[in-house]
Structure 1
Protein backbone atom coordinates (compact mmCIF):
# COMPACT_ATOMS: atom_id res chain seq x y z
CA UNK A 1 0.00 0.00 0.00
CA UNK A 2 1.16 3.52 -0.83
CA UNK A 3 1.24 6.35 1.67
CA UNK A 4 -1.34 8.30 -0.38
CA UNK A 5 -3.68 5.55 -1.55
CA UNK A 6 -7.12 6.97 -2.35
CA UNK A 7 -6.02 10.59 -2.07
CA UNK A 8 -6.10 13.36 -4.65
CA UNK A 9 -3.21 15.75 -5.17
CA UNK A 10 -2.51 18.88 -7.20
CA UNK A 11 1.02 19.91 -8.16
CA UNK A 12 1.28 23.25 -9.93
CA UNK A 13 4.21 23.60 -12.29
CA UNK A 14 4.24 19.82 -12.45
CA UNK A 15 5.61 19.42 -15.97
CA UNK A 16 9.32 19.74 -15.14
CA UNK A 17 11.93 19.92 -12.40
CA UNK A 18 10.86 19.65 -8.78
CA UNK A 19 7.17 19.67 -9.71
CA UNK A 20 7.48 16.73 -12.10
CA UNK A 21 9.61 14.71 -9.69
CA UNK A 22 7.13 15.35 -6.88
CA UNK A 23 4.07 14.55 -8.97
CA UNK A 24 5.66 11.25 -9.95
CA UNK A 25 6.46 10.43 -6.33
CA UNK A 26 2.93 11.23 -5.17
CA UNK A 27 1.48 9.11 -7.98
CA UNK A 28 3.84 6.25 -7.11
CA UNK A 29 2.46 6.42 -3.55
CA UNK A 30 -1.09 5.90 -4.79
CA UNK A 31 -2.43 9.43 -5.25
CA UNK A 32 -4.54 10.58 -8.19
CA UNK A 33 -2.46 13.54 -9.33
CA UNK A 34 -3.40 16.69 -11.22
CA UNK A 35 -0.48 18.65 -12.66
CA UNK A 36 -0.42 22.06 -14.29
CA UNK A 37 1.89 23.81 -16.71
CA UNK A 38 1.75 26.59 -19.25
CA UNK A 39 3.17 24.65 -22.22
CA UNK A 40 0.62 22.18 -23.60
CA UNK A 41 3.11 19.87 -25.27
CA UNK A 42 5.42 19.56 -22.26
CA UNK A 43 2.41 19.15 -19.98
CA UNK A 44 0.93 16.33 -22.03
CA UNK A 45 4.29 14.56 -22.22
CA UNK A 46 4.80 14.84 -18.45
CA UNK A 47 1.27 13.68 -17.64
CA UNK A 48 1.61 10.63 -19.90
CA UNK A 49 5.02 9.80 -18.45
CA UNK A 50 3.87 9.66 -14.82
CA UNK A 51 0.20 8.80 -15.19
CA UNK A 52 -1.14 12.19 -14.05
CA UNK A 53 -4.04 14.37 -15.18
CA UNK A 54 -2.62 17.44 -16.94
CA UNK A 55 -4.45 20.78 -16.89
CA UNK A 56 -2.97 23.67 -18.85
CA UNK A 57 -2.96 26.61 -16.47
CA UNK A 58 -0.98 29.79 -15.78
CA UNK A 59 -1.11 30.61 -12.06
CA UNK A 60 -0.71 34.33 -12.78
CA UNK A 61 -4.11 34.33 -14.55
CA UNK A 62 -7.11 34.12 -12.15
CA UNK A 63 -9.48 32.91 -14.86
CA UNK A 64 -7.23 29.92 -15.55
CA UNK A 65 -7.11 29.10 -11.85
CA UNK A 66 -10.92 29.16 -11.83
CA UNK A 67 -10.97 26.69 -14.72
CA UNK A 68 -8.45 24.47 -12.91
CA UNK A 69 -10.55 24.44 -9.74
CA UNK A 70 -13.66 23.61 -11.75
CA UNK A 71 -11.95 20.66 -13.44
CA UNK A 72 -10.77 19.27 -10.08
CA UNK A 73 -14.24 19.80 -8.58
CA UNK A 74 -15.84 17.90 -11.45
CA UNK A 75 -14.03 14.74 -10.37
CA UNK A 76 -15.90 14.96 -7.07
CA UNK A 77 -13.13 13.87 -4.69
CA UNK A 78 -11.81 17.22 -3.49
CA UNK A 79 -8.11 17.66 -2.71
CA UNK A 80 -6.03 16.00 -0.03
CA UNK A 81 -2.65 17.39 -1.11
CA UNK A 82 -1.80 20.72 -2.71
CA UNK A 83 1.81 21.46 -3.65
CA UNK A 84 1.88 25.12 -4.74
CA UNK A 85 5.12 24.74 -6.63
CA UNK A 86 4.80 26.92 -9.73
CA UNK A 87 6.92 30.06 -9.80
CA UNK A 88 10.32 31.31 -10.81
CA UNK A 89 12.60 34.29 -11.14
CA UNK A 90 15.67 35.71 -12.79
CA UNK A 91 18.68 37.84 -11.99
CA UNK A 92 18.50 41.64 -11.82
CA UNK A 93 20.40 44.02 -9.56
CA UNK A 94 18.69 46.91 -7.83
CA UNK A 95 19.97 49.22 -10.58
CA UNK A 96 18.56 46.93 -13.28
CA UNK A 97 15.12 46.17 -11.81
CA UNK A 98 12.15 47.36 -13.87
CA UNK A 99 8.45 47.52 -12.99
CA UNK A 100 7.89 44.56 -15.32
CA UNK A 101 10.58 42.54 -13.54
CA UNK A 102 8.89 43.33 -10.23
CA UNK A 103 5.50 42.26 -11.54
CA UNK A 104 6.89 39.06 -13.09
CA UNK A 105 8.41 37.94 -9.78
CA UNK A 106 5.55 38.88 -7.50
CA UNK A 107 2.73 37.88 -9.85
CA UNK A 108 4.19 34.39 -10.26
CA UNK A 109 5.55 33.70 -6.82
CA UNK A 110 3.22 35.63 -4.51
CA UNK A 111 -0.05 36.38 -6.29
CA UNK A 112 0.09 33.04 -8.09
CA UNK A 113 0.50 31.15 -4.84
CA UNK A 114 -2.09 33.23 -2.97
CA UNK A 115 -4.78 32.66 -5.56
CA UNK A 116 -3.87 29.03 -6.20
CA UNK A 117 -4.47 28.27 -2.53
CA UNK A 118 -7.51 30.54 -2.32
CA UNK A 119 -9.22 28.86 -5.30
CA UNK A 120 -8.43 25.46 -3.78
CA UNK A 121 -9.99 26.27 -0.40
CA UNK A 122 -13.47 24.89 -1.22
CA UNK A 123 -11.85 21.71 -2.55
CA UNK A 124 -9.55 20.95 0.39
CA UNK A 125 -10.78 18.01 2.42
CA UNK A 126 -10.50 17.89 6.20
CA UNK A 127 -7.00 16.78 7.08
CA UNK A 128 -5.53 18.01 3.79
CA UNK A 129 -1.89 19.03 3.49
CA UNK A 130 -0.81 22.21 1.71
CA UNK A 131 2.87 22.51 0.84
CA UNK A 132 4.24 25.86 -0.33
CA UNK A 133 7.44 26.26 -2.34
CA UNK A 134 9.93 28.47 -0.56
CA UNK A 135 13.65 29.01 -1.15
CA UNK A 136 16.93 29.50 0.68
CA UNK A 137 17.35 32.80 -1.20
CA UNK A 138 15.71 34.99 1.51
CA UNK A 139 18.32 33.78 4.01
CA UNK A 140 21.37 34.48 1.85
CA UNK A 141 21.39 38.00 0.41
CA UNK A 142 22.38 36.83 -3.08
CA UNK A 143 23.37 39.73 -5.37
CA UNK A 144 20.92 40.34 -8.24
CA UNK A 145 18.36 37.96 -6.73
CA UNK A 146 16.62 40.48 -4.49
CA UNK A 147 13.09 40.46 -5.88
CA UNK A 148 12.98 36.69 -6.14
CA UNK A 149 14.23 36.39 -2.55
CA UNK A 150 11.66 38.92 -1.32
CA UNK A 151 8.85 37.09 -3.07
CA UNK A 152 9.89 33.80 -1.46
CA UNK A 153 10.16 35.48 1.96
CA UNK A 154 6.51 36.44 1.49
CA UNK A 155 5.64 32.78 0.87
CA UNK A 156 7.23 31.75 4.16
CA UNK A 157 5.19 34.39 6.01
CA UNK A 158 1.96 33.39 4.27
CA UNK A 159 2.55 29.77 5.24
CA UNK A 160 2.50 30.68 8.93
CA UNK A 161 -0.67 32.76 8.57
CA UNK A 162 -2.55 30.16 6.56
CA UNK A 163 -1.56 27.41 8.98
CA UNK A 164 -3.28 29.42 11.73
CA UNK A 165 -6.32 30.24 9.60
CA UNK A 166 -6.93 26.66 8.45
CA UNK A 167 -6.17 24.79 11.66
CA UNK A 168 -9.86 24.54 12.57
CA UNK A 169 -10.41 22.60 9.32
CA UNK A 170 -7.54 20.26 10.27
CA UNK A 171 -5.65 21.45 7.20
CA UNK A 172 -1.90 21.64 7.62
CA UNK A 173 0.24 24.21 5.80
CA UNK A 174 4.02 23.83 5.62
CA UNK A 175 6.76 25.30 3.44
CA UNK A 176 9.49 23.33 1.70
CA UNK A 177 12.81 25.21 1.44
CA UNK A 178 14.98 23.74 -1.32
CA UNK A 179 18.58 24.71 -1.76
CA UNK A 180 20.08 24.80 -5.27
CA UNK A 181 18.54 21.94 -7.24
CA UNK A 182 19.53 20.89 -10.75
CA UNK A 183 16.40 21.84 -12.66
CA UNK A 184 15.62 23.68 -15.90
CA UNK A 185 14.64 26.66 -13.74
CA UNK A 186 18.11 26.87 -12.22
CA UNK A 187 20.19 26.10 -15.29
CA UNK A 188 18.01 28.49 -17.29
CA UNK A 189 19.43 31.39 -15.29
CA UNK A 190 22.68 31.02 -17.25
CA UNK A 191 23.27 31.45 -21.00
CA UNK A 192 23.83 28.38 -23.15
CA UNK A 193 27.34 27.06 -22.55
CA UNK A 194 27.61 28.55 -19.07
CA UNK A 195 25.12 26.35 -17.29
CA UNK A 196 27.60 23.87 -15.83
CA UNK A 197 29.68 26.76 -14.50
CA UNK A 198 26.56 28.08 -12.77
CA UNK A 199 25.85 24.69 -11.17
CA UNK A 200 29.47 24.45 -10.04
CA UNK A 201 29.31 27.89 -8.45
CA UNK A 202 26.13 26.97 -6.56
CA UNK A 203 27.72 23.69 -5.43
CA UNK A 204 30.62 25.62 -3.90
CA UNK A 205 28.14 27.39 -1.60
CA UNK A 206 26.80 24.07 -0.26
CA UNK A 207 28.67 22.26 2.54
CA UNK A 208 27.94 18.94 0.80
CA UNK A 209 29.67 20.39 -2.30
CA UNK A 210 26.94 19.49 -4.75
CA UNK A 211 23.58 20.72 -5.91
CA UNK A 212 20.52 18.69 -5.07
CA UNK A 213 18.37 16.44 -7.26
CA UNK A 214 14.62 17.00 -7.78
CA UNK A 215 13.91 13.52 -6.34
CA UNK A 216 15.41 14.64 -3.03
CA UNK A 217 12.89 17.48 -2.78
CA UNK A 218 10.09 15.17 -3.90
CA UNK A 219 10.84 12.86 -0.98
CA UNK A 220 10.59 15.77 1.44
CA UNK A 221 7.32 16.99 -0.07
CA UNK A 222 5.91 13.47 0.23
CA UNK A 223 6.79 13.55 3.93
CA UNK A 224 4.90 16.83 4.38
CA UNK A 225 1.98 15.57 2.28
CA UNK A 226 1.60 12.30 4.14
CA UNK A 227 0.52 11.29 7.63
CA UNK A 228 4.21 10.93 8.53
CA UNK A 229 4.19 14.69 9.27
CA UNK A 230 0.81 14.74 11.01
CA UNK A 231 2.01 16.96 13.89
CA UNK A 232 3.63 19.59 11.65
CA UNK A 233 1.99 22.83 10.53
CA UNK A 234 3.25 26.36 9.98
CA UNK A 235 6.76 24.92 9.72
CA UNK A 236 9.51 25.00 7.14
CA UNK A 237 11.46 21.94 6.05
CA UNK A 238 14.89 22.88 4.73
CA UNK A 239 16.47 20.56 2.15
CA UNK A 240 19.60 22.40 1.10
CA UNK A 241 22.71 20.30 1.73
CA UNK A 242 23.42 22.55 4.71
CA UNK A 243 23.60 25.74 2.66
CA UNK A 244 21.86 27.96 5.24
CA UNK A 245 22.26 25.66 8.23
CA UNK A 246 26.02 25.39 8.60
Structure 2
Protein backbone atom coordinates (compact mmCIF):
# COMPACT_ATOMS: atom_id res chain seq x y z
CA UNK A 1 0.00 0.00 0.00
CA UNK A 2 1.32 3.44 -0.91
CA UNK A 3 0.32 6.82 0.46
CA UNK A 4 -1.60 7.34 -2.77
CA UNK A 5 -3.93 4.51 -1.91
CA UNK A 6 -6.72 4.65 0.57
CA UNK A 7 -6.98 2.51 3.64
CA UNK A 8 -9.70 1.42 5.96
CA UNK A 9 -10.08 1.92 9.66
CA UNK A 10 -12.29 0.96 12.56
CA UNK A 11 -15.92 1.67 11.96
CA UNK A 12 -15.60 2.21 8.23
CA UNK A 13 -17.19 -1.14 7.27
CA UNK A 14 -14.70 -1.47 4.43
CA UNK A 15 -15.31 2.06 3.15
CA UNK A 16 -12.18 3.63 1.69
CA UNK A 17 -10.87 6.63 3.62
CA UNK A 18 -8.00 9.05 3.13
CA UNK A 19 -4.91 8.76 5.29
CA UNK A 20 -4.34 11.63 7.74
CA UNK A 21 -0.93 12.89 8.85
CA UNK A 22 0.22 15.60 11.26
CA UNK A 23 3.41 17.53 10.42
CA UNK A 24 4.82 19.88 13.04
CA UNK A 25 6.72 22.76 11.47
CA UNK A 26 4.87 21.90 8.28
CA UNK A 27 4.62 25.35 6.72
CA UNK A 28 8.24 26.05 5.76
CA UNK A 29 11.41 24.48 4.36
CA UNK A 30 11.54 20.68 4.88
CA UNK A 31 8.16 20.71 6.63
CA UNK A 32 6.55 22.39 3.64
CA UNK A 33 8.19 19.95 1.23
CA UNK A 34 6.87 17.11 3.37
CA UNK A 35 3.29 18.36 3.52
CA UNK A 36 3.39 18.90 -0.23
CA UNK A 37 4.64 15.37 -0.87
CA UNK A 38 2.08 13.79 1.43
CA UNK A 39 -0.75 15.84 -0.08
CA UNK A 40 0.34 14.81 -3.57
CA UNK A 41 0.12 11.20 -2.42
CA UNK A 42 -3.48 11.66 -1.32
CA UNK A 43 -3.17 12.44 2.38
CA UNK A 44 -5.20 14.86 4.47
CA UNK A 45 -3.01 16.95 6.71
CA UNK A 46 -2.61 18.93 9.88
CA UNK A 47 0.28 21.35 10.18
CA UNK A 48 1.54 23.95 12.60
CA UNK A 49 4.13 26.70 12.56
CA UNK A 50 5.03 29.90 14.35
CA UNK A 51 4.40 32.36 11.52
CA UNK A 52 0.67 32.96 10.84
CA UNK A 53 1.20 34.05 7.24
CA UNK A 54 3.25 31.00 6.23
CA UNK A 55 0.82 28.66 8.00
CA UNK A 56 -2.17 30.17 6.23
CA UNK A 57 -0.39 30.21 2.86
CA UNK A 58 0.74 26.58 3.14
CA UNK A 59 -2.74 25.40 4.13
CA UNK A 60 -4.38 27.30 1.27
CA UNK A 61 -1.91 25.94 -1.29
CA UNK A 62 -2.37 22.36 -0.12
CA UNK A 63 -6.14 22.65 -0.36
CA UNK A 64 -6.05 24.32 -3.77
CA UNK A 65 -3.34 22.22 -5.40
CA UNK A 66 -4.22 18.79 -4.01
CA UNK A 67 -7.76 18.98 -2.67
CA UNK A 68 -6.58 17.91 0.76
CA UNK A 69 -8.47 18.55 3.96
CA UNK A 70 -6.05 20.65 6.03
CA UNK A 71 -6.18 21.59 9.70
CA UNK A 72 -3.67 24.36 10.44
CA UNK A 73 -2.72 26.19 13.63
CA UNK A 74 -0.16 28.82 14.56
CA UNK A 75 1.80 27.82 17.67
CA UNK A 76 5.25 27.35 19.20
CA UNK A 77 6.01 23.68 19.86
CA UNK A 78 7.80 24.77 23.06
CA UNK A 79 4.34 25.57 24.41
CA UNK A 80 3.54 22.09 25.69
CA UNK A 81 -0.16 22.69 26.29
CA UNK A 82 -0.62 24.22 22.84
CA UNK A 83 1.23 21.33 21.16
CA UNK A 84 -0.75 18.68 23.03
CA UNK A 85 -4.00 20.41 22.12
CA UNK A 86 -2.97 20.79 18.49
CA UNK A 87 -2.35 17.06 18.10
CA UNK A 88 -5.68 16.14 19.67
CA UNK A 89 -7.66 18.78 17.75
CA UNK A 90 -5.99 17.71 14.50
CA UNK A 91 -6.93 14.07 14.97
CA UNK A 92 -10.51 15.04 15.71
CA UNK A 93 -10.70 17.49 12.79
CA UNK A 94 -9.35 14.92 10.32
CA UNK A 95 -11.42 12.09 11.76
CA UNK A 96 -8.45 9.76 12.19
CA UNK A 97 -4.66 9.79 12.41
CA UNK A 98 -2.32 7.56 10.43
CA UNK A 99 0.96 9.37 10.85
CA UNK A 100 2.89 11.98 12.80
CA UNK A 101 5.98 13.77 11.47
CA UNK A 102 7.89 15.71 14.14
CA UNK A 103 9.65 18.11 11.80
CA UNK A 104 9.94 21.25 13.93
CA UNK A 105 13.42 21.69 15.40
CA UNK A 106 16.46 23.89 15.61
CA UNK A 107 19.15 25.22 17.91
CA UNK A 108 19.38 27.98 20.48
CA UNK A 109 22.63 29.69 21.46
CA UNK A 110 26.19 29.57 20.18
CA UNK A 111 29.32 27.67 21.19
CA UNK A 112 30.05 26.07 24.54
CA UNK A 113 31.49 29.24 26.04
CA UNK A 114 28.58 31.48 25.04
CA UNK A 115 25.51 29.23 25.14
CA UNK A 116 23.50 29.54 28.33
CA UNK A 117 21.89 26.70 30.30
CA UNK A 118 18.57 28.01 28.95
CA UNK A 119 19.90 27.62 25.39
CA UNK A 120 20.77 23.99 26.08
CA UNK A 121 17.42 23.30 27.72
CA UNK A 122 15.43 24.99 24.95
CA UNK A 123 17.36 23.15 22.22
CA UNK A 124 16.60 19.84 23.92
CA UNK A 125 12.93 20.72 24.39
CA UNK A 126 12.61 21.96 20.81
CA UNK A 127 13.90 18.73 19.31
CA UNK A 128 13.51 15.85 21.78
CA UNK A 129 10.82 17.19 24.07
CA UNK A 130 8.46 18.31 21.32
CA UNK A 131 8.83 14.97 19.51
CA UNK A 132 8.04 12.98 22.64
CA UNK A 133 5.11 15.15 23.68
CA UNK A 134 3.52 15.17 20.21
CA UNK A 135 3.83 11.40 19.95
CA UNK A 136 2.42 10.87 23.43
CA UNK A 137 -0.65 12.89 22.47
CA UNK A 138 -0.95 10.97 19.18
CA UNK A 139 -0.70 7.44 20.63
CA UNK A 140 -4.45 6.90 21.25
CA UNK A 141 -5.20 7.82 17.63
CA UNK A 142 -2.26 6.06 15.98
CA UNK A 143 -3.00 2.84 17.86
CA UNK A 144 -6.45 2.72 16.24
CA UNK A 145 -5.00 2.82 12.71
CA UNK A 146 -1.70 1.01 13.39
CA UNK A 147 -0.04 4.21 12.29
CA UNK A 148 3.51 5.47 12.53
CA UNK A 149 5.68 8.40 13.53
CA UNK A 150 8.78 9.88 11.93
CA UNK A 151 11.11 12.05 13.98
CA UNK A 152 13.30 14.40 11.93
CA UNK A 153 16.80 14.43 13.41
CA UNK A 154 19.99 15.41 11.56
CA UNK A 155 23.28 14.12 10.23
CA UNK A 156 24.72 16.19 13.10
CA UNK A 157 23.26 13.62 15.49
CA UNK A 158 25.91 11.07 14.52
CA UNK A 159 28.57 13.02 12.57
CA UNK A 160 30.13 15.55 14.98
CA UNK A 161 29.57 19.23 14.29
CA UNK A 162 28.93 22.33 16.37
CA UNK A 163 26.92 23.63 18.09
CA UNK A 164 27.18 20.83 20.62
CA UNK A 165 23.72 21.38 22.11
CA UNK A 166 22.12 20.79 18.68
CA UNK A 167 24.25 17.72 17.93
CA UNK A 168 23.50 16.24 21.35
CA UNK A 169 19.75 16.88 21.00
CA UNK A 170 19.68 15.26 17.56
CA UNK A 171 21.59 12.24 18.84
CA UNK A 172 19.04 11.95 21.64
CA UNK A 173 16.22 12.18 19.10
CA UNK A 174 17.67 9.25 17.15
CA UNK A 175 17.81 7.14 20.31
CA UNK A 176 14.31 8.31 21.28
CA UNK A 177 12.88 6.87 18.07
CA UNK A 178 14.59 3.52 18.64
CA UNK A 179 13.41 3.33 22.24
CA UNK A 180 9.83 4.32 21.48
CA UNK A 181 9.68 1.85 18.60
CA UNK A 182 10.14 -0.93 21.14
CA UNK A 183 7.76 0.61 23.65
CA UNK A 184 4.94 1.37 21.20
CA UNK A 185 5.34 -1.64 18.92
CA UNK A 186 2.88 -3.72 20.95
CA UNK A 187 0.29 -1.00 20.29
CA UNK A 188 0.84 -1.40 16.55
CA UNK A 189 2.73 1.91 16.21
CA UNK A 190 6.00 2.19 14.30
CA UNK A 191 8.54 4.91 15.16
CA UNK A 192 11.45 5.81 12.90
CA UNK A 193 13.93 8.63 12.51
CA UNK A 194 15.21 10.46 9.44
CA UNK A 195 18.57 12.22 9.55
CA UNK A 196 18.79 14.80 6.75
CA UNK A 197 22.13 16.05 5.56
CA UNK A 198 22.81 19.71 4.87
CA UNK A 199 19.91 20.97 2.76
CA UNK A 200 20.01 23.78 0.23
CA UNK A 201 16.91 25.83 1.05
CA UNK A 202 16.32 29.30 -0.46
CA UNK A 203 17.12 32.02 2.05
CA UNK A 204 18.54 29.64 4.65
CA UNK A 205 22.10 29.18 5.92
CA UNK A 206 23.71 27.22 3.10
CA UNK A 207 22.01 29.37 0.47
CA UNK A 208 23.37 32.47 2.22
CA UNK A 209 26.84 30.93 2.25
CA UNK A 210 26.57 30.21 -1.47
CA UNK A 211 25.77 33.86 -2.13
CA UNK A 212 28.12 35.48 0.37
CA UNK A 213 31.14 33.17 0.13
CA UNK A 214 31.00 31.14 -3.10
CA UNK A 215 34.49 29.74 -2.59
CA UNK A 216 33.63 28.33 0.85
CA UNK A 217 30.38 26.94 -0.54
CA UNK A 218 32.17 25.17 -3.41
CA UNK A 219 34.61 23.68 -0.92
CA UNK A 220 31.69 22.46 1.19
CA UNK A 221 30.15 20.77 -1.85
CA UNK A 222 33.27 18.60 -1.81
CA UNK A 223 31.92 16.93 1.36
CA UNK A 224 29.28 15.29 -0.89
CA UNK A 225 30.42 12.48 -3.21
CA UNK A 226 28.03 13.66 -5.94
CA UNK A 227 29.00 17.30 -5.44
CA UNK A 228 25.66 18.72 -4.34
CA UNK A 229 23.76 19.32 -1.12
CA UNK A 230 20.52 17.60 -0.25
CA UNK A 231 17.20 18.96 -1.51
CA UNK A 232 14.26 19.09 0.93
CA UNK A 233 12.20 17.12 -1.57
CA UNK A 234 14.69 14.24 -1.32
CA UNK A 235 14.10 14.02 2.43
CA UNK A 236 10.34 14.48 2.09
CA UNK A 237 10.17 11.45 -0.22
CA UNK A 238 11.80 9.24 2.42
CA UNK A 239 9.53 10.60 5.15
CA UNK A 240 6.48 9.84 3.01
CA UNK A 241 7.73 6.28 2.49
CA UNK A 242 8.29 5.71 6.21
CA UNK A 243 4.80 7.00 7.04
CA UNK A 244 3.22 4.71 4.46
CA UNK A 245 2.31 1.07 4.86
CA UNK A 246 5.03 0.20 2.36
CA UNK A 247 7.43 0.62 5.28
CA UNK A 248 5.45 -1.62 7.62
CA UNK A 249 8.60 -3.69 8.38
CA UNK A 250 10.75 -0.63 9.10
CA UNK A 251 10.71 0.19 12.79
CA UNK A 252 13.21 1.79 15.17
CA UNK A 253 15.45 2.80 12.28
CA UNK A 254 17.52 5.92 11.71
CA UNK A 255 17.54 6.57 7.96
CA UNK A 256 20.27 8.95 6.77
CA UNK A 257 19.26 11.11 3.81
CA UNK A 258 22.54 12.94 3.43
CA UNK A 259 23.80 12.02 -0.06
CA UNK A 260 26.82 10.38 1.57
CA UNK A 261 27.86 13.63 3.23
CA UNK A 262 31.13 13.63 5.17
CA UNK A 263 31.48 16.60 7.54
CA UNK A 264 28.15 18.28 8.38
CA UNK A 265 29.90 21.64 8.66
CA UNK A 266 31.56 23.87 6.08
CA UNK A 267 34.48 24.13 8.44
CA UNK A 268 35.27 20.44 8.90
CA UNK A 269 34.90 18.23 11.95
Determine if the TM-score, normalized by the shorter chain, exceeds 0.5.
yes
Q: How many residues align?
A: 244
Which of structures 1 and 2 has the bigger CA Rg?
2
Mapping of residues 86-235 of structure 1, within 5 Å: 86-89=104-107, 92-124=110-142, 125-142=144-161, 144-183=162-201, 186-187=204-205, 194=212, 200=218, 202-235=220-253
In structure 2, stretches of 5+ residues that fail to align are 7-17, 64-69, 264-269
Give the secondary structure class of the aligned counterpart of 1:212: coil
Deviations 1:82-119 (A, max 9, x none): 10110112572222221232123112111111111111
Match for residue 55 of structure 2 among 40, 43, 62: 43
TM-score using structure 1 length:
0.89
Deviations 1:18-74 (A, max 9, x none): 110011111111111111101111100111112232111211111111320332243
Return closer, same or farther for 1:76/1:141 CA change in 2, 3 Å cut-off: closer
Return closer, same or farther for 1:95/1:186 CA change in 2, 3 Å cut-off: same
| Aligned twin of 1:25 | 37
C-alpha RMSD over aligned residues: 2.5
TM-score using structure 2 length:
0.82
| Aligned twin of 1:70 | 88
Return closer, same or farther for 1:169/1:185 CA change in 2, 3 Å cut-off: farther
- 2:109 and 2:115 in contact (8 A); partners too: no
- For 1:163 and 1:7, the matched residues in 2 are separated by 21
Deviations 1:97-146 (A, max 9, x none): 2123212311211111111111112221332011011111022221x321
